Amino acid sequence: MANVTLGGNPVTLEGNEINVGQVAPEVEVVGKDLSTFKVGGANGKFQILLTVPSLDTGVCATETRKFNEKMAGKNGVSVSVISMDLPFAMGRFCATEGIENVQTGSDFRAAKFGKAYGVLLKDSALEGLLARAVFIVNGDGIVIYKEIVSEIKTEPNYDAISAAVQSHGGCGCGCGMH
């Protein structure tokens, strides 16, 4: 498992570690309207799956806004931000921040995503929330990029994410990630 810290203090991750080259598990999460939708697996297009501890933190909100801006008017790739926030809080955040180009999904019911991808935090002040991570899944459902952000309070490596999409032929959407 990856080494993760919160304010310099080690944090344990729980669940099944997923690595580049493996099939991305298909997991159901809860949308802001309480409907469920699936992320991961093979669905014919690039998926960028972001996990964050909570949309109510500055770093998580900034990360979500950046991806929302990059995805404006683009097709061929989906971006899902997954956290343990309640769907109602996600809906309020999206409405307040104008988030329309990424999906938000809650893993609050059973932590299925956190466990399936090995990003569930354990033994810390944020126990039960998700680590900050990025998984890029190609249309065939294979993980082509993985980043478990080593310090939870920092943003992911946007340049590396862009390079990963570009090096795998891009997503064909002109999303600015190439």
85 domain residue, yes or no:
yes
146 domain residue, yes or no:
yes
C-alpha span between 89 and 91 (Å, rounded): 5
122 domain residue, yes or no:
yes
Q: What is the pLDDT of residues 43-94, one digit of tens each?
A: 888 899 999 999 998 889 888 988 888 776 667 788 999 999 999 999 999 9
Distance from CA of residue 168 to its chain's centroid?
19
42 domain residue, yes or no:
yes
**Domain that includes residue 32, residue range:** 18-153
Confidence of residue 174 (pLDDT cuts 50, 70, 90): very low
CATH code of residue 70: 3.40.30.10
For residue 41, give both structure tokens.
Answer: 């697996």
58 domain residue, yes or no:
yes
pLDDT for 169 equals 66
Q: How many domains does the chain have?
A: 1
To the question of pTM greater than 0.85 for the whole model, the response is: yes
Residue 175 is a catalytic residue: no
